[in-house]
Amino acid sequence: MNEGLGVVGGHAPSPPPPPPPHRTQGITDLPSPEEIAAAEGTADPWEELNQTGLPKVDPKDYEVVAHNVKMLQTLTEKKSSTETAIRRFDIEHLNIEHLNRLVSAIPPLRKYKIVELAGAGTQKYAYALDNGHIFSLFQSGYGGGLYDDLEWYAGIQDRQFKGLSSIDEPAIHDYGEVKISQKLSSYQGNYLKYVEMSGVIPLSMAPSQKLFAMGVKDARELDWEFQVIIQFVSNAYHDGALEDIKGTENRIEQVQYWWLNPSQAPFFEDLYGSVSDVRPDKLPRDDGMNLIKTIVRLVDRVGHPAALDDLHIGNFGMSIENPDEFVVIDI
């Protein structure tokens, strides 16, 4: 036996297999979903995704959906901020296919492109769409068990259909919610809620001439003015001063009268030190009266003054039909 040749039993060994072709280290070395499926015997490589209940994106909707996913991933309220809707709603970890399917399940975001961010609060993000409407995305509000945001929008739409809509309410075109699988997110009950509205311009996007007429250059300058009036109306309800006054319009007139004559309000001495604590410096009288009207109607429609607890300048817009009328676009 010639050991130097590696011959065993008179037979030469089989030649070694050729080396595998060179592959660049990195993502190209990762198996595709199809390869994983073949190795694990899984029939559908997207089975886990399909189990979420989110349908695949219709090819005709893909351009709009992909655009809107990008907007949700990148638009922030401030240039220095990194807080996007995707991050706020705890779904930034999802891969692009998950996000595409999730956004595609929201009808307005299949049809219309997001143009810009109209405003952002602690709970919701509002966007301007290319059809001229405002689109709001959220997961929860501050109502708790006292009121429900979607029910509020549903009530507005119901009044529209009955011909009972009010100029201080937006026109509601669509609203709803999309269930997010617990595999994707455990935040706020696993629902992504939305509403599409029109007939209103958020004060954050109000024309400069309207803001100038209210004595400010920026809508944010009005926030303190609005907060003073919101608190005044809230005090009127919580103090019980309106309990014996029947009818929304009568309550509006009473609160407006107290606001013009603060010392005659039954809660004035207990809660305020002077008239200047009640009457803002910049907001014109007529705007203050209109704001009170809008706020009182909101409380009566929702059925609880808790609707005012998180109300601020970002929750308001102005009517396109009549710019002197304030519109609540979010609670």
Last residue of some domain: 163, 198, 233?
198
Q: Are residues 134 and 258 in the same domain?
A: no
CB 307 within 8 A of CB 147: yes
End-to-end alpha-carbon separation of the chain, Å?
Answer: 92
pLDDT, one tens digit per residue, over 40-72 is: 444 444 555 565 667 889 999 999 999 999 999
Q: What's the confidence (pLDDT) of residue 22?
A: 37
pLDDT, one tens digit per residue, over 67-87 is: 999 999 999 877 767 889 988
- Show the domain range for 110: 59-198
Q: What's the confidence (pLDDT) of residue 142?
A: 53
Q: What's the confidence (pLDDT) of residue 1?
A: 43
Last residue of some domain: 160, 175, 198?
198
Low-confidence ranges of the chain (pLDDT < 50): 1-13, 17-33, 36-37, 40-45, 186, 188
Q: What's the confidence (pLDDT) of residue 133?
A: 96
Q: Are residues 215 and 192 in the same domain?
A: no
CA distance 29 to 175: 44
The tally of domains found in the chain comes to 2
Q: Are residues 224 and 273 in the same domain?
A: yes
CB 109 within 8 A of CB 67: no
The structure tokens 């519109």 sit at 327
**Is residue 22 in a domain?**
no
The structure tokens 């695949």 sit at 56
**Is residue 35 in a domain?**
no
Last residue of some domain: 151, 170, 198?
198
Q: Are residues 189 and 214 in the same domain?
A: no
CA distance 295 to 311: 9
Q: Are residues 71 and 187 in the same domain?
A: yes
Q: Kind of pairing, strands 191-198 and 171-179?
A: antiparallel
Q: Are residues 152 and 83 in the same domain?
A: yes
Q: Are residues 216 and 274 in the same domain?
A: yes
Other beta carbons within 10 Å of 132: 12
Q: What's the confidence (pLDDT) of residue 145?
A: 57
CB 129 within 8 A of CB 89: no
Domain harbouring 124, CATH code:
3.30.200.20
Q: Are residues 267 and 321 in the same domain?
A: yes
Q: Are residues 287 and 162 in the same domain?
A: no
> Taking Cα atoms as reference points, which of 281, 282, 293, 278 lies closest to residue 327?
293
Q: What's the confidence (pLDDT) of residue 50?
A: 61
- Cβ neighbors of 281 (< 8 A, separation 6 or more) are 225
For the chain, what percentages of helix, strand and coil (3-state, to nearest 5) are there? 45, 15, 40
**Is residue 40 in a domain?**
no
Is the dihedral angle over the CA atoms 310, 312, 317, 323 positive or is it negative?
positive
> Taking Cα atoms as reference points, which of 158, 105, 168, 106 lies closest to residue 315?
168
Spell out where the chain has E strands. Answer: 114-120, 124-129, 134-138, 171-179, 191-198, 200-202, 316-319, 326-328
Q: Are residues 109 and 170 in the same domain?
A: yes
**Is residue 142 in a domain?**
yes
**Is residue 241 in a domain?**
yes
Q: Are residues 75 and 192 in the same domain?
A: yes
Q: Are residues 242 and 173 in the same domain?
A: no
Q: What's the confidence (pLDDT) of residue 184?
A: 54
Q: How many residues does the chain have?
A: 331
pTM for the model: 0.78
CB 175 within 8 A of CB 150: yes
**Is residue 104 in a domain?**
yes
Q: What's the confidence (pLDDT) of residue 179?
A: 82
**Is residue 218 in a domain?**
yes
Q: How far is CA 120 from CA 78, 96, 116, 131, 216, in A?
A: 10, 23, 11, 20, 21
**Is residue 88 in a domain?**
yes
